[in-house]
Structure 1
Amino acid sequence: MSQAELSEAGERAVRQALGAEHAAVWVHGLAKAFVADSKVAAELREAAATHRGHRDRTRELLRSAGVAPPAAEPAYRTPKPVTDQDSALRALLAVEQDCSVGWLAVLERSELWRLNELALTCLTDSATRATRWRLRLDVRPSAPAFPGRE
C-alpha cells in the first residue's frame, strides 16, 4: 500500500483506530490485576493478545503506506476508576466500544481492500468481546444493533 492510496480521511481514521488499540492493550493490562475469576482471566488474556495483534498489523499497514504510526501513550484514563472485577469489566467494555467506533470509521473512510479487511475483522472482534463483557455484567441489550454506533 502506498501513501497515495491512503486518503487523508482514511489515514486519520486508521490513526484513531490504532490509538483505540493502544488503549485497549493498556486497559487489558490494568484489568488483569483486578480479575480473580479464572475463566474471565483466560478470556482477558485472549482478548489482550488479539488487540496486540490488531495493533501490530495496523502499525505495519501504516508503515507500508509511508505513514509513521502514532506511539502508545504512557497511560490511559478509564471512564471510572478500576477497583475490582466489575469495574475492570466495565473498563474493558468501554475500550471495546471505542475500538468498534474506530474501526467502523475506517470502514466508512477507506476504499483499500487490505485495510477494509483488517477493519472488518477488528470491528467484528471488538463487537463480539463487548457483547461478552455485557453478558458478564448483565447489561441489556447485550448486543447493539449497530456496533460502533452505540
Structure 2
Amino acid sequence: MTELSDEAATALRSALGAEHAAVWVHGFASAYVSEPRVRSAIDDAADQHRRLRDAAEELIRGAGQTPPAAQPAYDPRTQVTDQRSAIDLLITAESDCQVGWRSVLENTDDPGLRRTALDGLTTSATRATRWRLTVGQQPAAEAFPGRP
C-alpha cells in the first residue's frame, strides 16, 4: 500500500480529473478534424492520456482510496467549430494536465509518484508544443510548463 499525504492525494486527484477531461476532449475534438495526420496524433494522445489516467487511478487505489470517476461530459469552455478551434481546445486540455501533474511533483517526495507526475508533465508539455506548432501559435513552447 502506498502512503499519500493529504496534499499529494489532493494533487493526484486533480491530475486525474484533468486526465479524465483530456480523454473526453480528445474524443470530442476528433469530430472536427479533417487531416489524417492530425486525427492520428489525436488518437495517440488519447492513448497516452488513458495510460496516465489508469496510472493515477492505480496510485490512488494503492493508497487505499477511491479514485474520482470521470464526468459523463465536460464543458469545452470555448466554441469548437473546425479543426483550428479543436486544436485550441486540445492545447487547453494539455495545459490543464500540466498544471495537475506539476502540482503532484510539488507535493510529494515518493519516487514512483514523482516518475508518473514527471511523465505526465513532460508528455503533456510536448504535445501542447506540437499542437501550437501545428496551428502556428508562437511561442510554441512554454518556459515553465504547468505553472498555474
- The percentage of counterpart residues that share the same residue type is 53
Give the 5 Å matches for 1:72-87. 72-87=70-85
Give the 5 Å matches for 1:132-147. 132-147=130-145
> C-alpha root-mean-square deviation of aligned residues, in Å?
0.9
- Matching residue of 1:96: 94
- Matching residue of 1:24: 22
State the TM-score, normalized to the length of structure 1.
0.96
Q: Is the 8 A contact 1:93 1:130 kept in 2?
A: yes
Cα deviation for residue 104 of structure 1 reads 0.2
Q: Which runs of 5+ in 2 are unaligned?
A: none
1:114 partner SS: helix
The runs of 4+ residues in structure 1 deviating greater than 4 Å are: none
For 1:61 and 1:142, the matched residues in 2 are separated by 32
Supply the AA of the counterpart residue of 1:136.
T
Give the 5 Å matches for 1:100-119. 100-119=98-117
Cα deviation for residue 137 of structure 1 reads 1.5
1:70 partner SS: coil
State the TM-score, normalized to the length of structure 2.
0.97
Q: Which runs of 5+ in 1 are unaligned?
A: none
Q: Deviations over 1:6-33 (max 9, x none)?
A: 0001000000000000000000000111
Q: Deviations over 1:75-103 (max 9, x none)?
A: 11113111110110000000000000000
For 2:142 and 2:64, the matched residues in 1 are separated by 36
